[in-house]
Amino acid sequence: MAGFEMDVLVVGCGLCGAVIARHMAEPGKKVVIWERRDHIGGNMYDYTDEHGFLVQKYGPHTFHTKKKELYEYMCRYEEWRLYKLNCGAVWDGKYTPTPFNFTTVDTFYPPEQAEKLKKKLSTAFAGRPSATVVEVLEHPDPDIRGYAAFLFQNDYAPYTAKQWGVSPAEIDPSVLKRVPLRFSYEEGYFDDAYEVMPEHSFTRFFENLLEHPNIKVELRVEALERLTVREDRLYLDGAAISIPVVYTGALDELFGGVYGQLPYRSLRFEWKYQEKDCLQPAAVVAYPQEAGYTRITEYKKLPAQNRPGTSYAVEYPLPYEEGQAAEPYYPVLTAESQEQYAQYKTLADKIPNLIPCGRLADFKYYNMDQALERALQICDRL
């Protein structure tokens, strides 16, 4: 780092690390970011593949939020276009949009029964655009209950079981408290005021965000080869340091796993290309009955890219083992893992210049807007 002093060290060049780095750089602090991957952007990283399609290396991302100020922050560094994500599911060879709606009823029920069920749903949930699956499962009418049970058995249970690596019988319907069933033909995955995709790319957003003379990004640097913790102090290359260290990696890794490895689920993406112009009806489609994989993302629909052929990624969930090629994507949140995380957090809180932030360091499943909000809270504190 000859010629560039360091006032702040940031570990990780994902959304949280990059936002905080920019905030510190603006008033004149020299910020160094160490990123172990060979690219910026964390899990939001996208690139153009060999067939000319913009694809997302770590799975499908769309930016959506209810909060204007978060959307406006994103607009400082990239232009955005409105984009409504459409998702779907296929089983028994039939396609339905998700969240499930009246098209689902028409698809899986004979016409007469479908009409009767839609009427019953509209009356039972009058004035409400949707309800959770759990509510519908508990309804006194057996036809209404039966509809939710049919969806649970064919989609939610097998899908969730594959996602978390358990058997469908172990899936408790209560985990679906937030999944809506719509009582209309309305489609669209999210109901947020701002639902957008970058005009150029997520990576372009990061390039602009990091474009500042006081920020130096160093890729392929494993921070924990140089940053260590001893007796509530941080050491850099063996020397104690007191500059702020923003840490967006996993806390168990920072503390050498003294309380055991925090549990995560990971994903393996199988990248494919076909000459055909359309693979599936929506950008992201779940395949609950297929062995091994959960869903397929067809990138030419995320957002629309008009060129021949199609590039897509098939998503296989798997357990995360530290040190293997897999990435820690989804924290497995149980009472036990929360307790384990709390122990690591207690260690972190004893180090005054350590600032943990982000999906890994906070051991939370943040969407991008939540990660951004969390980073901006830290910026206010700093």
Cβ at position 14, least distance to ligand FAD in Å: 2
Q: Which residues pair with 129 in a beta bridge?
A: none
Cβ closest to ligand FAD, residue 282 vs residue 360: 360
What is the DSSP code (8-state) at residue 9?
Answer: E
Q: For residue 343, which amino acid is it?
A: Q
Closer to ligand FAD at the Cβ: 185 or 365?
365
Closer residue to ligand FAD (CB): 114 or 224: 224
Nearer to ligand FAD, 58 or 183 (CB): 58
Report in angstroms how near the CB of residue 183 gets to ligand FAD at its nearest.
25
State the minimum distance, in angstroms, from the CB of residue 196 to ligand FAD.
Answer: 11
Euclidean distance between CA atoms 40 and 209, whole angstroms: 11
CA angle (216 as vertex; 213, 222 as ends), nearest 5:
170
Site residues, ligand FAD (CB under 6 A): 11-17, 34-37, 42-44, 58-63, 222-224, 248-249, 329, 358-360, 366-369, 371
- Write down the least CB distance from residue 114 to ligand FAD, Å: 31
| Residues written for the chain | 382
Contact 12, 45 (CB under 8 A): no
Please report how close the Cβ of residue 95 comes to ligand FAD at its closest, in angstroms. 21
Between 170 and 222, whose beta carbon lies closer to ligand FAD? 222
Shortest CB 12 distance to ligand FAD, Å: 2
Distance CA 301, CA 212 (A): 33
CA 250, 253, 257, 262 torsion: positive or negative? Answer: positive
Q: Quick one: which of 89, 95, 51 has its CA closest to 299?
A: 51
Encoded amino acid at 377, one letter: Q
Given a contact cutoff of 8 angstroms between Cβ atoms, the answer to whether 204 and 40 are in contact is no
Three-state DSSP state, 278: coil
Report the amino acid identity of residue 341.
Y
Closer by beta carbon to ligand FAD, 145 or else 345: 345
